[in-house]
Amino acid sequence: MKNKHLLTMDALTVAEIDAILFDAHLFSTIYKDWQFPDNHRVANLFFEPSTRTQYSFESAQHQLNCKVTTFNEQTSSVQKGETLYDTVKTFEAIGMEALVIRHPENEYFKHLVDKINIPILNGGDGSGNHPTQCLLDLMTIKEEFGDFTGLKVAIVGDIQHSRVASSNLQAMEKLGMISYVCGPKEWSKNLTNYHPLDEVIEEIDVLMLLRIQHERHEATMQMTKAEYLSAYGLTKERMNKMKPEAIVMHPAPFNRDVEIDSDLVEHPKSRIFKQMENGVYVRKAVLKRAFGYEFPTEITK
Ligand code: NCD
């Protein structure tokens, strides 16, 4: 590969996924304070709102001793009609060594990868892909269960519009996990693994909730929040039916009392804030991969 881009989960082999997760684990343990030996200039270009992805990338970059530039679309020449391609070429020309990009267009990177000589780390493309979210989800699952094969995961909610669902479904198949998609049937993309949540709630190991992606919907939803919660969300009743060792995840931002009863956000089964913490380790690992560094002492699993 010319550059260590990170664009989709499909483009990663199982060995590459394992290597990133292992590095993320080392960043969370013995290499918490390890930094790149050189300062690298990185820029974060977010064309869609973001809290976790943008600021955990930024935190990871600062911890690794990078020099960080934050792009602001509102005050940039995008307002004068500049294209994404020309914006990205500009950041390369002014000396950036890697770019994190989030953009509303699915696969925006397709037009860029062959013409840009610095790594692009995808922070989310439309309803397409969200590889670092998927990797931090996998890290959280692995910490809990040690392995992936045979684990049963229900992904619940707006499957059709969710890049988190797409990336996770790609990776879970690769890793031998059994996935169910649940929630409103019309949002299930006609996937054959659709099941009403109540059919699978007692047997799953991981419940992965999704936010309703209103910004990607053409029509406004007809259901009230309370109706959605009771039909598809995580209620106390459903939580009580889950296996003792099962966990609850959500990429966030979560809508309290829509996808999840507000009282359950910090329930002992919830790993929502653990996912955010792991997001920093995973983003450190993908930056390390992009710049081709090795840890000072080789450690094997
Ligand atoms: C997700 C995203 O932007 O795709 N958020 C995130 O990165 N943690 C999920 C969402 O917005 O629903």
- pLDDT number for residue 221: 80
Helix (H) or strand (E) holding 290: helix 272-291
Residue type, 197: L
Give CA–CA dist 43/64, Å, rounded.
14
Instruction: Please report, rounded to a whole number, the percentage of residues in the chain having pLDDT higher than 70.
Output: 98
Q: Is 126 in the pocket of ligand 1 (CB under 6 A)?
A: no
Position 248 pLDDT exceeds 50: yes
Amino acid 190: pLDDT: 84
Strands 152-156 and 120-125: unpaired
Cβ burial 59-88 (10 Å sphere, 16+ → b, else e) = ebbebbebebbebeeeeeebeeeeebeebb
Strand positions, DSSP E, the chain: 41-46, 67-70, 98-103, 120-125, 152-156, 178-182, 206-209, 247-249
Q: Whose CA is nearest to atom 7 of ligand 1?
A: 53
Q: Is the CB of 124 under 6 A from ligand 1?
A: yes
Report domain 131-271's class. Answer: alpha beta
| CATH class entry, domain 14-130+277-291 | alpha beta
Task: State if residue 131 touches ligand 1 by the CB under 6 angstroms criterion.
Answer: no
161 Cβ closer than 6 Å to some ligand 1 atom: no
Question: What distance in Å separates the CA atoms of residue 103 and residue 266, rounded to the nearest whole number?
Answer: 31
pLDDT score of 220:
81
End-to-end alpha carbon distance in the chain: 25
Q: In what order do the strands lie in the sheet with 98-103?
A: 67-70, 41-46, 98-103, 120-125
- What average pLDDT does the segment 250-263 reach? 97
CA of 58 to the centre of ligand 1 (A): 16
The response to whether residue 168 sits with its C-beta less than 6 Å from ligand 1 reads no
Could you tell me what percent of the chain has a pLDDT over 90? 93
Q: Do 14-130+277-291 and 131-271 fold alike per CATH? A: yes
For residue 279 and ligand 1, the question of a CB distance below 6 A is answered with no
pLDDT tens-digit readout, 172-215 = 999 999 999 999 999 988 889 999 999 999 999 999 999 999 99
| Dist. CA 88–CA 110, nearest whole Å | 13
| CA–CA distance, 234 with 261 (Å, rounded to integer) | 6
Q: State the closest ligand 1 atom to the C-alpha of 52, by its place in the atom list counted from 1.
A: 8
Ligand 1 contact, 129 CB (< 6 A): no
Average the pLDDT over 5-19 and give the result: 97
Q: Which atom of ligand 1 is nearest to the CA of 48?
A: 3
pLDDT band at 3 (very low <50, low <70, confident <90, very high): confident
CA 253 to ligand 1 center in whole angstroms: 7
Q: Which residues pair with 68 in a beta bridge?
A: 42
Ligand 1 atom nearest the C-alpha of 124 is 4
- Ligand 1 proximity of 251 Cβ (cutoff 6 Å): yes
- pLDDT for the residue 1: 45
Q: Which atom of ligand 1 is nearest to the CA of 102?
A: 3
| Residues 287 and 35: beta-carbon distance below 8 Å | no
Ligand 1 touching residue 276 (CB < 6 A):
no
- Looking at the predicted structure, is the pLDDT value of residue 42 above 60? yes
Closest ligand 1 atom, residue 163 Cα:
4
- Residues 164 and 159: their CA atoms lie apart, in Å, by 8
**Domain residue extents for the chain:** 14-130+277-291, 131-271
Element (H, E) at 57: helix 52-63
Q: Is residue 21 scored above 70 in pLDDT?
A: yes
Q: Which atom of ligand 1 is nearest to the CA of 213?
A: 12
pLDDT band at 2 (very low <50, low <70, confident <90, very high): low
pLDDT over 80 (residue 247): yes
- The two tokens of residue 13 are 């082999």
Q: Is 21 helix (H, G, I), strand (E, B) or coil?
A: helix
| Span from the CA of 37 to the centroid of ligand 1 (angstroms) | 32
CB of residue 130 inside a 6 A radius of ligand 1: yes
Cβ of residue 159 lying under 6 Å from some atom of ligand 1: no
Residue 124: both structure tokens together? 């989310």
Chain centroid to CA 238: 25
pTM to 2 decimals? 0.97
